[in-house]
């Protein structure tokens, strides 16, 4: 029963965290066709920041904790490729998200508020954010594949 | 191997479909607190309309991959977790396609022509705010059924 509860929370946290992440590109992309004063873009970036800080990132922490809990509860050895591989990738994703994506987002909001949507630094930060988002998506899809195919 | 491929696609589709729809409440809630002229709300509803279209496509593929997995493994439809999840899924998808999606389109039309203080816009927003959490509870029950698999 404990394993089933941990798995339920794990799956739910994965759906929320990754699903929320998947909306960012769409929200920011649509805001690009907004007005020249950047109000839609400001709203989009601030909303993404709230979603990331208060929902997605805490869900990733929960994902890690429930994942480790399931490994412990089921007695899986850490030497299994899909377990240590996914754990390593999750740590890489977390470092990229906290260390690079979140500061980029914060800078984007600051530059937008002070210099507007057409500022070259804002454009550069937007490109960086899009590249980081793509890399994070690739890592997360690889983790999902490891969880399903379970290579030993 | 085919079962694992289907399961992988099924999980990715669930992430997109349920993840997208879970974000609507937060996006709309933030837009409602933004500028009084409704510009952020209009942007939010337009983004949500696009997300709804993607999510509904994913929900249909979710159903197809789910049925394919049942057929592949040979699970009987008499299993509680299978028929209950199918019933709940039909209710959720029906509500999404026939109530929630038209509501988003209608709210965009009203907001563009009459503004955010229009009574019909407010009534539709309240209805969506009530239905959203109900659909989330249905999604939670389906996920529980998928994980716990009660017979």
Q: Does A90 touch chain B (CB under 8 A)?
A: no
Give the number of other Cβ atoms within 10 Å of residue A16's Cβ.
23
**Is this structure's pTM higher than 0.90?**
yes
What does the DSSP 8-state code read for residue B25?
H
* pLDDT tens, position by position, A6-48: 999 999 999 999 999 999 999 999 998 888 788 999 999 999 9
Q: In this complex, do A43 and B40 lie within 8 Å of one another by their Cβ atoms?
A: yes
Answer positive or negative: Cα dihedral of A65, A58, B61, B77. positive
Interface test with B, best of A1, A24, A27 (most B CBs within 10 A): A27
Domain edges within chain B: 2-148
pLDDT tens per residue across all 151 residues of chain B:
899 999 999 999 999 999 999 999 999 999 999 977 889 999 999 999 999 999 999 999 999 999 999 999 999 999 999 999 999 999 999 999 999 999 999 999 999 999 899 999 999 999 999 999 999 999 999 999 999 999 8
Give the pair of three-digit tokens for residue B41: 């709300």
Q: What is the pLDDT of residues B27-46, one digit of tens each?
A: 999 999 997 788 999 999 99
Of A7, A16, A30, the CB nearest to B22: A16
Which residues on A lie below 8 Å from B136 (Cβ)?
none
The complex's ipTM works out to 0.91
Return d(Cα B52, Cα A131) in angstroms, integer.
Answer: 25
How many CB pairs (< 8 A) connect A and B?
Answer: 93
User: What letter does residue B77 receive in the DSSP assignment?
Assistant: T
């Amino acid at each position: 029963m404990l394993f089933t509860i941990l798995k339920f929370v794990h799956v739910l946290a994965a759906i929320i965290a990754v699903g929320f992440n998947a909306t960012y590109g769409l929200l920011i992309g649509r805001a690009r066709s907004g007005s020249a004063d950047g109000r839609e873009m400001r709203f989009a970036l601030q909303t993404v920041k709230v979603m990331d800080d208060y929902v997605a990132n805490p869900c990733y922490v929960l994902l890690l904790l429930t994942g480790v809990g399931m490994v412990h509860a089921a007695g899986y050895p850490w030497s299994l490729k899909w377990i240590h591989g996914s754990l390593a990738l999750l740590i890489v994703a977390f470092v990229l998200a906290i260390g690079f994506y979140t500061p980029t987002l914060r800078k984007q909001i600051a530059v937008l508020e002070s210099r507007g949507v057409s500022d070259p630094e804002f454009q550069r930060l937007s490109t960086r954010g899009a590249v980081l988002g793509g890399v994070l998506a690739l890592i997360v899809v690889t983790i999902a594949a490891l969880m399903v195919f379970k290579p030993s | 191997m085919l079962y694992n491929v289907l399961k992988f696609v099924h999980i990715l589709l669930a992430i997109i479909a349920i993840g997208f729809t879970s974000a609507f409440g937060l996006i709309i809630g933030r837009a409602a607190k933004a500028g009084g002229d409704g510009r952020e709300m209009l942007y939010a509803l337009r983004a949500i309309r696009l997300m709804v279209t993607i999510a509904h496509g994913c929900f249909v593929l979710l159903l197809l991959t789910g049925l394919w997995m049942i057929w592949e493994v040979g699970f009987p439809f008499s299993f509680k977790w299978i028929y209950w999840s199918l019933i709940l899924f039909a209710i959720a998808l029906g509500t999404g396609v026939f109530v929630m999606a038209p509501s988003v389109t209608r709210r965009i039309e009203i907001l563009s022509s009459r503004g955010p203080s229009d009574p019909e816009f407010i009534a539709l927003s309240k209805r969506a705010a009530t239905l959203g959490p109900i659909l989330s509870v249905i999604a939670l029950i389906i996920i529980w059924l998928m994980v716990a698999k009660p017979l």
